[in-house]
């Protein structure tokens, strides 16, 4: 597992600080601003960076791997956050931990308190490597949509090369947002929105919010008419596996403006860990309902993908739909995977995946 936080020695600041770490003189990320901090000393356990004349000591065994990373240092805390790891394709900014849904498979259960970090996130985005895709997640980012739209507008105008992948439950749009949305470059934002069933009651039960499905339908239409690039996301559950084929029909009829439909395997953390025994659907045991949904949606021209499905859990004729979707920092392989010929293209498993409660059909190929 890759560390997203690193221990630092106490550092004399009163305001949070966003800096970009530089470990080599001829860095791939040439110093451009006062936010750049050069590596001045390192050994096997520490790395010292020059931050405006002060030394920031980071505890790391691999100083070079931090080159180009954009980090957040917070007053009084002895950790720094690696907001944007220059060497990774999987960078996500956590906008808020608040949410109005309590999805039974949530990997990041909501909290009440919110700290507004948009100003620091904006600084971070300005320092990101060229052409980076940055995830914006939560919680529900749209709970702070005025700040979010402001952040996106500023970020896009300063860094038109950056792409955003925003995960939202789609509950908080209204017609008046069309102006804000139209002001953005919608082609470089991918909106990831969950939908669990065509059946409203089934969907609402999964997200634990009455009326959520109805609002979602209305708001997906708003996103669609604003030219949003849309990724519909459906986590596979015992609660919705029998609804999948109907959902495929629903999406191809009512959300055909979506770019992609992702059917996702469960990540056993947060509420999902709590509900695992009840909700984990072992697709390595029976794939029929997933297959029917893929056949219907793909046949009607909707690009359909499988996220978080280890290749051996999927019949060979459906493996071409699998994407190596698990983020690098929380991905692992099992001992069974040693010597598997498909390992290099396989998504693997979540760090917290538990073998004895998981797929029954994991076999090296």
Partner 1 sequence: MNVWPLQFRKIGENDLLFSDDSGSFFRSDDLFLDRYIQGALTHEDAEFLAYNGQAFETDGDFAFSGFASRWAKRINTAGDLSYFILVPTLRCNLMCDYCQVSRAAENASGFDWDRDTLEQVINLLDKQKANQVKVEFQGGEPLLRLDLLDAIRNFCRSRFEAAEFVVCTNLQTVSEEAWQFLEAPDTHVSTSFDGTSKFHLKQRTKTTTVQRQFEANLDVALTRLGVDRVSALPTIDPSDCPDPAAVIHAFAARSLTSIYLRRINYQGFARKKYGFDSALVDWRQYYRRFIAALIEYNTTADVPMEEYYLTHILRRILQSGHNNHVDLRNPNWLGKDLLVIDFNGQLYPTDEARMVSRIGKIDLSIGSLEDGIDANRVATLNSNVSNFDDPDCVHCAYKAYCGLDPIDDLSRYGRVDLPRHQTDHCKSHLDLFDYAFSLLYSADPTVQKSLAIWIGVPNYNPKIAPRTL
Footprint of partner 1 (CB under 8 A): 217-218, 220-221, 224-225, 245, 249, 253-257, 291-292, 294-296, 298-301, 315, 317-318
Task: Give the span between the Cα atoms of 186 and 217, in whole angstroms.
Answer: 20
Q: Give 87 or 225: the residue with its C-beta nearer to partner 1.
A: 225
Burial class (CB in 10 A: 0-12, 13-18, 19+), 127: buried
Asked if 156 and 162 touch (Cβ cutoff 8 Å), the reply is yes
Asked if 181 and 174 touch (Cβ cutoff 8 Å), the reply is no
User: What is the closest distance, in whole angstroms, from the C-beta atom of residue 224 to partner 1 in the complex?
Assistant: 6
Q: Give 114 or 218: the residue with its C-beta nearer to partner 1.
A: 218
User: What is the closest distance, in whole angstroms, from the C-beta atom of residue 345 to partner 1 in the complex?
Assistant: 18
CA separation, residue 39 to residues 55, 70, 198, 239 (Å): 9, 14, 54, 52
Q: Give 198 or 326: the residue with its C-beta nearer to partner 1.
A: 198
Task: Give the span between the Cα atoms of 226 and 187, in whole angstroms.
Answer: 11
- Smallest CA-to-CA distance from 307 within 353, 354, 252, 260 is with 260
Task: Give the span between the Cα atoms of 298 and 288, in whole angstroms.
Answer: 15
Q: Give 82 or 243: the residue with its C-beta nearer to partner 1.
A: 243
Max Cα–Cα distance, the chain, nearest Å = 63
Task: Give the span between the Cα atoms of 304 and 299, in whole angstroms.
Answer: 10
Q: Give 271 or 287: the residue with its C-beta nearer to partner 1.
A: 287
Q: Give 76 or 301: the residue with its C-beta nearer to partner 1.
A: 301
User: What is the closest distance, in whole angstroms, from the C-beta atom of residue 336 to partner 1 in the complex?
Assistant: 25
User: What is the closest distance, in whole angstroms, from the C-beta atom of residue 363 to partner 1 in the complex?
Assistant: 20
Backbone phi, psi, residue 122, to 5°: -65, -45
Q: Give 253 or 278: the residue with its C-beta nearer to partner 1.
A: 253
**Residue 262, CB-side half-sphere exposure with 13 Å CA sphere:** 22
Asked if 322 and 309 touch (Cβ cutoff 8 Å), the reply is yes
Q: Give 221 or 342: the residue with its C-beta nearer to partner 1.
A: 221
Q: Give 102 or 292: the residue with its C-beta nearer to partner 1.
A: 292
In the beta sheet, which residues pair with residue 179?
none
Task: Give the span between the Cα atoms of 75 and 61, in whole angstroms.
Answer: 23
Burial class (CB in 10 A: 0-12, 13-18, 19+), 145: middle
User: What is the closest distance, in whole angstroms, from the C-beta atom of residue 298 to partner 1 in the complex?
Assistant: 5
User: What is the closest distance, in whole angstroms, from the C-beta atom of residue 320 to partner 1 in the complex?
Assistant: 8
User: What is the closest distance, in whole angstroms, from the C-beta atom of residue 217 to partner 1 in the complex?
Assistant: 4
User: What is the closest distance, in whole angstroms, from the C-beta atom of residue 295 to partner 1 in the complex?
Assistant: 4
Q: Give 23 or 171: the residue with its C-beta nearer to partner 1.
A: 171
CA angle 203, 207, 213 (to 5 degrees): 45
User: What is the closest distance, in whole angstroms, from the C-beta atom of residue 225 to partner 1 in the complex?
Assistant: 6
Task: Give the span between the Cα atoms of 68 and 89, in whole angstroms.
Answer: 13
- Placement of tokens 């609002």 in the chain: 215
User: What is the closest distance, in whole angstroms, from the C-beta atom of residue 38 to partner 1 in the complex?
Assistant: 37
């Amino acid at each position: 597992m890759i560390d997203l936080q690193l221990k630092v020695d106490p550092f004399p600041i009163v305001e949070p600080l966003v800096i970009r770490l530089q470990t080599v003189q001829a860095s791939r990320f040439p110093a451009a601003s006062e936010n750049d901090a050069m590596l001045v000393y390192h050994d096997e356990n520490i790395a010292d960076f020059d931050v405006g004349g002060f030394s920031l000591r980071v505890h790391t065994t691999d100083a070079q791997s931090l080159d180009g990373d954009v980090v957040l240092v917070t007053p009084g805390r002895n950790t720094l956050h690696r907001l944007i790891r220059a060497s990774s394709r999987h960078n996500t900014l956590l906008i808020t931990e608040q949410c109005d849904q309590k999805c039974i498979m949530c990997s990041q259960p909501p909290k009440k308190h919110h700290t507004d970090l948009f100003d620091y996130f904006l600084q971070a985005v300005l320092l990101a490597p060229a052409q980076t895709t940055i995830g914006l997640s939560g919680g529900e980012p749209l709970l702070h949509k005025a700040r979010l739209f402001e952040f996106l507008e500023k970020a896009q105008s300063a860094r038109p090369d950056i792409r955003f992948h925003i995960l939202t439950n789609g509950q908080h749009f209204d017609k008046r947002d069309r102006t804000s949305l139209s002001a953005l470059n919608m082609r470089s934002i991918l909106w990831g929105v969950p939908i669990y069933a065509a059946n409203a009651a089934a969907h609402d039960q999964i997200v634990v919010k009455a009326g959520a499905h109805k609002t979602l339908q209305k708001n997906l239409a708003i996103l669609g008419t604003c030219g949003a690039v849309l990724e519909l996301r459906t986590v596979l559950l015992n609660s919705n596996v029998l609804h999948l084929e109907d959902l495929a029909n629903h999406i191809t009829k009512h959300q055909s403006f979506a770019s992609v439909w992702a059917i996702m395997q469960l990540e056993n953390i947060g509420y999902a860990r709590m509900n695992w025994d009840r909700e984990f659907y072992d697709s390595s045991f029976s794939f029929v309902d997933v297959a029917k949904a893929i056949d219907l949606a793909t046949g009607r021209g909707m690009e359909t993908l499988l996220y978080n499905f280890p290749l051996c859990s999927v019949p060979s004729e459906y493996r071409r739909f699998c994407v190596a979707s698990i983020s690098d920092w929380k991905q692992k392989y099992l001992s069974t995977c040693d010597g598997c010929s498909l390992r290099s293209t396989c998504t693997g498993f979540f760090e917290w995946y538990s073998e004895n409660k998981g797929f029954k059909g994991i076999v090296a190929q």
